[in-house]
Structure 1
Amino acid sequence: MKLDPEIEKILDKALAGEQITRQEAVKLLQVDENSPELYAIMSVANTLTRRHFGDKGEVWAQVGINIWPCPKSCAFCTFGEKWGVFTSRVELSLEEVVSRAKAFEDAGANAIFLMTTADYPFGRFLEIAKAVREVLSPDMPMVANIGDFGPEEAEKLLEAGFQGAYHVFRLREGRDTEIDPKVRLRTLETIRDFGLALAYCVEPIGPEHSPEELVEEMFRGKDYLAASLAAMWRVPVPQTPLYKYGMISQWTLAKAVAVTRIVVGDSIKAMGVHEARILPLRAGANQIYAETGPNPRDVLEDTSKGRGFTVEDCKELLVEAGYTPLEGPSGAFPVRPKAVSPLTD
């Protein structure tokens, strides 16, 4: 069976370790999902990942701290104040966050993420984070998933024991979100400049997004020196404006993961997919998430009772995909003896 010569040339280039162009990435995303070219793209991405990471798969675990109407009202998010999905204010106690984070580590998670809504008080977040840091093993990475922040906040995140930050310029930022794109970019610059390892993602992908839009975010993550990259589908939440567009298929998600993996080459330390499914894990992804507490894609207050996976669920899926779950801390967020930032040089 012969492939499209142009697709075959791009894939040969990727296998040789060469950087593909934006135009070539778009070409890959445009292939028909019932074509042999799609299987070839997935196979090349899978080869690149297993060549680079061996058979190791990673489970990163996220604790959602609060759930309340968020003034940013992103058009895909259950937290959005305008959509009325959640109208009351619910917040896990410090003790509960600490307990859940430690339980994730004990279950074998390789990194711990702490997530809040964009308007969560930064001082309170630091207080909780410091308590979590005290109970985790010294070499267990801790990653912040919070709203936009500047140099002063970055300094405090480092002091509190964070090694990384999850931050994303979302698809159609400023249009489907009420966040200034310039502010989003400044935060990404701050993360890079302060040496926090960046976890980046092409998200949230819906049926209406063009290949060009996806490719722009793939390259943006690479340009900001992301330690890990991922692709994530958008879950259609009733009451939110983007619900009407529906959801992409697992095949479309797998294609996005595969092309993202090919674009970034071996510049990353993990390749993620969200939400975890078997096809993307055979198309270049080797990292998935366990979740507890609030989740912007779920209508339940505790996603562990809904869409969220446990660490055990994730390990089983990784094994099914042919990976051996990593034991110990992830290497994507190296723990330094003493955090050093531009403000303390």
Structure 2
Amino acid sequence: MLKTIKPKNARAKRILKKREPKVEENAKTAIFVRGSTTSQVVNDALSDLCCLRRSNSINFTKKNNIHPFDDDTSMNFFCAKNDASLFVIGSHSKKRPHNLIFGRMFDGQVLDMIEVGIEKAITMSEIKSQKCSVGMKPLFIFNGDLFETSQVHKTFKNMMLDFFRGQTLESINISGLEYVISITATGSIVDSDSTTPSTSDGKIFFRVYTIQMTKSGQKAPRVELEEMGPSYDFKLRRTKFAKEEVYKIATKVPKTLKPKKVKNIDVNEIGDKVGHIHLGRQDLSKLQTRKMKGLKRIPEDDDQTEDWSHKKRKV
């Protein structure tokens, strides 16, 4: 860990102030680090993934002796020094060829990590097509039931959304939607502990497409997808999940950001507002109905009944 020291000048004070916790966080920075041994497939994958989120990423080209599953001290130092909360480590060995490790940080420590192996890769430069602009937010498509049932896939889905989330926006122009990331999970998986590798007979297919909008004769344009790259076939390997207590603290939303609850108004599953109206106790005897002579009450006393009928005849 870096030592906490008092700033000696105004520049250092501004840097430390930017690193302080905020109610509304800035866009997360990701670092891409090469291990002690890498392959050309891994190097190309690190460069292409860094290019997809080019605005908030740092790509290190020098090799580093980093093994986060064995000792995460060096990874904590790298992220703290660069003020990064996301990281990708590439390595290559006989036991784990073409290896990538996706991870997240919280409070200066590694929160969770997922290791995948690249079984098939197509770089962005190999696909001759139009590329997206820098700094654009992607759309995501997750295909497969495993993203709803498997804990490993749920974490991988959450991690990918965290990697490409970028800056929080209140609204977005339709012309700013330039590319789509499609992630498909196949097969079945057996969730494992944090220390042992997970066994899986399925794969995760990572694809990136650009959005082509053409005229449709209607108000909404016609949307077509064209493959942009990169394209990967991942196989899940080792995982390390955060403890439940730490994960709750990491995902806790400040009270100031929580929407104020309006009394007697809820939102249903579809997203429609539903209001609750509270009425007082109703007395049906005082209910105003249509006035008819046949519905008039007759007095209970017989004498009064005769007088009443006599008056009625007179009328």
- TM-score for the superposition, normalised by structure 1: 0.21
From the two aligned structures, give the one with the greater helix fraction: 1
Larger radius of gyration: 2
Structure number with greater CO (CA < 8 Å, separation at least 6) is 1
- TM-score for the superposition, normalised by structure 2: 0.23
From the two aligned structures, give the one with the greater strand fraction: 2
